């Protein structure tokens, strides 16, 4: 039982059904100062029902309540303040983590699926920092949902279709060099793409040719398809290298092209339901409250991004029977996802309510927007390698004899980039500063990893065996331990909040707090001293290590045993 449950039950027992347990639990507050106890109940919430002054209600409750499990229960003005029994709480929390290990806070399987549209880079274009954010946030959400009992389905909705492929084919036929593309696919294809777009700005025939090629592609023309397939394969080789580096895998690589033969059905349903109208030759769905209608088919018959997303949404519902369907995509696409949901709603699919756009903000570099054209770019692969190199340099300085230095440096360097991304609330963008990310000081991944590794080294020195202390009283009552115990106890709530709000940042911030609380404890306490509390102190260190490691795992970050 956690602290909120304990307090809610004690309150319910004296409130005579004036409030339900859930209501009580929702009303409980955490006092700003620890002198005011661990949890507080605001008695003014009952003033109307009981027709009494809140101060009197608080005093009544404090008098009647059973103090079992509490150090004390006191009324302070209109609040009832609960002070948990520290040694009982410490024993309960530590024993639970000791016996469950990293399964602590794992919930039972619900059997329900959560579809997560994530990463989704565009073929023949570089993998951007936006795609990195989508990959890292999506992967963390998958792990968080799995922890609370769902089965995540990670879908890479590759941008492998659309008029840009018409442009690319035109460019390739004019200027393409097969060998150069085989050497350096994405940068060569990007060059072609940039060149042809510049040309199209002055020469309208380029655009017409591109549209023709895209239509050929949509109609299955062999030459167009072969070129498309080749561009796609070459790009995927590069993307796969990045995914391997990041340690991220997918359950489905069905990109936009996968839905080519599934869009007719969408158009049929829309038309049967009388939702299609003509507008300037194009086929659209009018949407109330939107500035623009949803464009389903262009005047030349070519389909669009949203048409493919409609087909994808229906396919996912049928295939995965999802309880929720998430789209981890930059906030600049909010309009698109609002339209997508609105069209599905008009098609009478109530499950459109289970679709969530999970937007995120922009990354800047030295305070400036990234722009391929202006040369302000972050190239992902070299950046990952640089992060690992910097991690390696710090490890060389701190711990030159460390075994597996390369693997640890990789975990630290790549973990640093992921952690920095995830500690920011999604919608807040951030400035990409590698030096800060990889630092062992401050609110960083390496800082948390280091706290974890320090704990493992203490446990090794003490030859700590969790089984040997399970069942013992693990009473710790000093302030520094108490702060850690309360954090450990809060872990399940933090995970639930991260899942509900689609915010891995809740877990990253929590991991920073826990690492800081442990470092404070470590500075104050001689953990290895031989005395009566030694077992409890080691149990505290062990439990903190477990929860730090599990927090990092949920963020897709490894926790080396030594660093």
**Contact residues for ligand ARG, defined by CB under 6 A:** 117, 120, 122, 157, 159, 309, 312, 327, 329
Compare residues 91 and 134 and give the one whose CB is closer to ligand ARG: 134
Express the helix, strand and coil content of the chain in percent, nearest 5 each: 60, 10, 30
Q: How far apart are CA 160 and CA 253, in angstroms?
A: 11
Cα dihedral sign, 547-551-557-563: negative
Find, among 285, 312, 281, the residue nearest to 298 by Cα.
281
| Lateral strand order in the sheet of 294-297 | 276-279, 282-285, 294-297
Q: How far apart are CA 197 and CA 207, in angstroms?
A: 9
CB of 285 to ligand ARG, least distance (A): 17
Q: How far apart are CA 342 and CA 290, in angstroms?
A: 10
Read off the tokens for 405: 């230095």
CB of 309 to ligand ARG, least distance (A): 5
Compare residues 200 and 329 and give the one whose CB is closer to ligand ARG: 329
Find, among 222, 221, 250, 217, the residue nearest to 236 by Cα.
250
CB of 558 to ligand ARG, least distance (A): 28
DSSP code, position 556 = T
Cα dihedral sign, 166-167-168-169: positive
CB of 27 to ligand ARG, least distance (A): 40
Compare residues 117 and 550 and give the one whose CB is closer to ligand ARG: 117
Compare residues 320 and 464 and give the one whose CB is closer to ligand ARG: 320
Compare residues 122 and 339 and give the one whose CB is closer to ligand ARG: 122
CB of 232 to ligand ARG, least distance (A): 13
3-state secondary structure of 95: helix
**What stretches of 113-182 adopt beta strand conformation (E)?**
113-117, 151-155
Closest residue to bound ligand ARG by CB: 159
CB of 147 to ligand ARG, least distance (A): 24
Compare residues 122 and 235 and give the one whose CB is closer to ligand ARG: 122
CB of 224 to ligand ARG, least distance (A): 20
Compare residues 19 and 329 and give the one whose CB is closer to ligand ARG: 329
CB of 122 to ligand ARG, least distance (A): 5
Compare residues 117 and 209 and give the one whose CB is closer to ligand ARG: 117
CB of 516 to ligand ARG, least distance (A): 36
DSSP code, position 260 = G
Compare residues 89 and 122 and give the one whose CB is closer to ligand ARG: 122
Compare residues 307 and 449 and give the one whose CB is closer to ligand ARG: 307
Compare residues 309 and 558 and give the one whose CB is closer to ligand ARG: 309
Q: Residues 33, 41: contact at Cβ < 8 Å? A: no
CB of 160 to ligand ARG, least distance (A): 9
Q: Residues 129, 378: contact at Cβ < 8 Å? A: yes
For residue 110, report the phi and psi dihedrals to the nearest 5 degrees: -95, -15
Q: How far apart are CA 552 and CA 71, in angstroms?
A: 34
H helices within 16-116, ranges in order? 21-27, 47-50, 54-64, 86-100
How far the first Cα of the chain sits from its last, in Å, is 36
Compare residues 86 and 316 and give the one whose CB is closer to ligand ARG: 316
**HEC readout, 196-228:** HHHHHHHCHHHHHHHHHHHHHHHCCCHHHHHHH
Q: What is the CA radius of gyration of the chain?
A: 28
CB of 114 to ligand ARG, least distance (A): 15
CB of 157 to ligand ARG, least distance (A): 4
Cα dihedral sign, 466-470-473-474: positive
């Amino acid at each position: 039982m956690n602290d909120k449950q304990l307090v809610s039950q004690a309150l319910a027992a004296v409130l005579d059904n004036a409030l339900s347990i859930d209501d009580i639990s929702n009303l409980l507050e955490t006092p700003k100062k620890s002198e005011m106890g661990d949890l507080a109940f605001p008695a003014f919430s009952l003033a109307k029902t009981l027709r009494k002054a809140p101060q009197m209600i608080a005093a009544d409750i404090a008098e009647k309540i059973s103090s079992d499990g509490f150090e004390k229960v006191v009324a302070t003005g209109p609040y009832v303040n609960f002070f948990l029994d520290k040694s009982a709480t410490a024993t309960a929390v530590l024993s639970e983590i000791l016996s469950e290990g990293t399964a602590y806070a794992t919930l039972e399987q619900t059997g329900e699926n959560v579809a997560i549209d994530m990463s989704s880079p565009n073929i023949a274009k570089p993998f951007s920092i936006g795609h990195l954010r989508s990959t890292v946030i999506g992967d963390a959400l998958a792990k968080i949902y799995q922890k609370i009992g769902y089965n995540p389905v990670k879908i890479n909705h590759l941008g492998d279709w659309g008029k840009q492929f018409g442009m690319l084919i035109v460019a390739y036929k004019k200027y393409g060099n097969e060998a150069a593309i085989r050497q350096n696919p994405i940068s060569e294809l990007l060059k072609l793409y940039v060149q042809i777009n510049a040309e199209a700005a002055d020469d309208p025939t380029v655009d017409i040719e591109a549209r023709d090629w895209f239509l050929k592609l949509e109609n299955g023309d062999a030459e167009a398809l072969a070129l498309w397939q080749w561009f796609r394969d070459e790009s995927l080789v590069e993307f796969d290298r990045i995914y391997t580096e990041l340690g991220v895998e997918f359950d489905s690589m069905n990109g936009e092209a996968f839905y080519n033969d599934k869009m007719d059905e969408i158009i049929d349903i829309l038309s049967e339901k009388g939702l299609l109208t003509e507008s300037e030759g194009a086929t659209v769905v009018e949407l109330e409250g939107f500035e623009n209608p949803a464009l389903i088919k262009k005047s030349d018959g070519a389909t669009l991004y949203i048409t493919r997303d409609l087909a994808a949404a229906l396919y996912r519902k049928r295939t995965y029977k999802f309880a929720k369907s998430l789209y981890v995509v930059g906030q600049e696409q909010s309009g698109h996802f609002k339209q997508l949901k609105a069209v599905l709603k008009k098609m009478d699919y109530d499950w459109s309510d289970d679709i969530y756009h999970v937007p995120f903000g922009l990354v800047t570099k030295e305070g400036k927007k990234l722009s391929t054209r202006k040369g302000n770019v972050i190239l992902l692969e070299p950046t990952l390698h640089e992060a690992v190199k910097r991690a390696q340099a710090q490890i060389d300085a701190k711990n030159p004899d460390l075994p597996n230095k390369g693997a640890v440096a990789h975990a630290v360097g790549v973990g640093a980039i992921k952690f920095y991304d995830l500690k920011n609330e999604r919608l807040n963008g951030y400035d990409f500063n590698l030096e800060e990310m990889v630092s062992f000081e401050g609110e960083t991944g390496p800082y948390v990893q280091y706290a974890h590794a320090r704990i493992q080294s203490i446990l090794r020195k003490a030859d700590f065996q969790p089984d040997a202390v399970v069942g013992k009283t693990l009473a710790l009552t000093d302030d520094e331990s108490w702060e850690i115990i309360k954090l450990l106890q809060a872990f399940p709530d933090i995970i639930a909040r991260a899942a509900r709000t689609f915010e891995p940042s809740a877990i990253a911030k929590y991991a920073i707090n826990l690492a800081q609380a442990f470092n404070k404890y470590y500075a104050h306490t001689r953990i290895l001293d031989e005395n009566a509390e030694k077992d409890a102190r080691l149990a505290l260190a062990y439990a903190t290590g477990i929860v730090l490691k599990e927090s990092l795992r949920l963020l897709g970050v490894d926790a080396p045993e030594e660093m």
